[in-house]
């Protein structure tokens, strides 16, 4: 991705950034909520939503949650930690391997003889969605959804999993716009780690 911006491109991204930040603030104000939570995967979409939420609500009012599975890469965790360090905020880490294994044990009889497929992948997404909704309910936070318009257009999402949330912050942004907006956010210095913007996107739900 070209790091440089034309004046017109930068102006468009500024407008999109300001509109999304205003939308988050307006939603929280009208709903009478102050704090948000979201799943931080180490990918570009959740990184962008975190940056926008911090701009809108302040870092003290946003709780990012990392939920690594057996298939999560080391850089997914380290990139997430690096971004939170760049912002100067805390991040909650809840590994889901034990929970995932419990689901596999519970479904072992009904899954017997059927190769690993989307079922095992979606279990991970739904575990994460359940944990995030539990945190949202327990603390009175709004869960921010991190899916983009390109994913929604082709059905690349898991019902009751990564599609959970009270507000779909980037639901009207295509993936190309997600990357451009991340570059705009980094215009004055690194907030979103460079590795998040250059590594190939992956759901990391299978080997």
Going by pLDDT thresholds of 50, 70 and 90, the confidence category of residue 1 is: very low
pLDDT at residue 6 is higher than 60: no
167-185 tens-digit pLDDT: 999 999 999 999 999 999 9
Residue range 86-142, pLDDT digits in tens: 999 999 999 999 999 999 999 999 999 999 999 999 999 999 999 999 999 999 999
Q: What pTM does this model have?
A: 0.93
Name the pLDDT band for 15 (thresholds 50, 70, 90). very high
pLDDT at site 10: 75
Secondary structure in 3-state letters for the chain:
CCCCCCHHHHHHHHHHHHHHHHHHHHHHHHHCCCCEEEECCCCHHHHHHHHHHHHHHCHHHEEEEECCCCCCCHHHHHHHHHHHHHHCCCCEECCCHHHHHHHHHHCHHHHCCCCCCHHHHHHHHHHHHHHHHHHHHHHCCEEEECCCHHHHHHCCCCCCCCCCCCEECCCCCCHHHHHHHHHHHCCCCCCCCHHHHHCCCCCCCCC
CA distances from 188 to 6, 185, 191, 192 (A): 15, 8, 9, 11
Question: Is there a contact between 177 and 42 (Cβ–Cβ < 8 Å)?
Answer: no
Which pLDDT score is estimated for 53? 98
Confidence of residue 207 (pLDDT cuts 50, 70, 90): confident
Of the candidates 50, 38, 93, the residue with the CA atom closest to the CA atom of residue 68: 93
The C-alpha atoms of residue 106 and residue 83 are separated, in whole angstroms, by 36
């Amino acid at each position: 991705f070209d790091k440089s911006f034309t004046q017109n491109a930068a102006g468009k991204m500024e407008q999109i950034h300001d509109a999304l930040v205003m939308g988050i603030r307006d939603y929280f104000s009208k709903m009478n909520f102050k704090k948000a939570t979201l799943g931080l995967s180490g990918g570009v979409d959740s990184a962008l939503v975190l940056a926008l939420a911090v701009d809108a609500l302040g870092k003290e009012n946003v709780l990012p949650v990392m939920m690594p599975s057996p298939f999560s890469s080391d850089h997914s965790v380290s990139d997430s930690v690096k971004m939170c360090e760049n912002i100067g905020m805390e991040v909650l880490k809840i590994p889901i391997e034990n929970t995932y294994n419990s689901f596999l044990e519970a479904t072992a009889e009904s899954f017997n003889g059927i190769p690993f497929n989307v079922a095992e992948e979606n279990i991970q997404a739904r575990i994460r969605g359940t944990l995030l909704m539990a945190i949202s309910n327990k603390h009175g936070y709004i869960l921010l959804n991190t899916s983009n318009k390109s994913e929604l257009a082709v059905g690349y999402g898991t019902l009751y999993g990564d599609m959970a949330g009270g507000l779909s912050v980037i639901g009207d942004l295509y993936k190309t716009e997600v990357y451009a907006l991340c570059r705009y956010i980094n215009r004055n210095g690194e907030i979103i780690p460079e590795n998040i913007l250059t590594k190939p996107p992956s759901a990391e739900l299978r080997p």
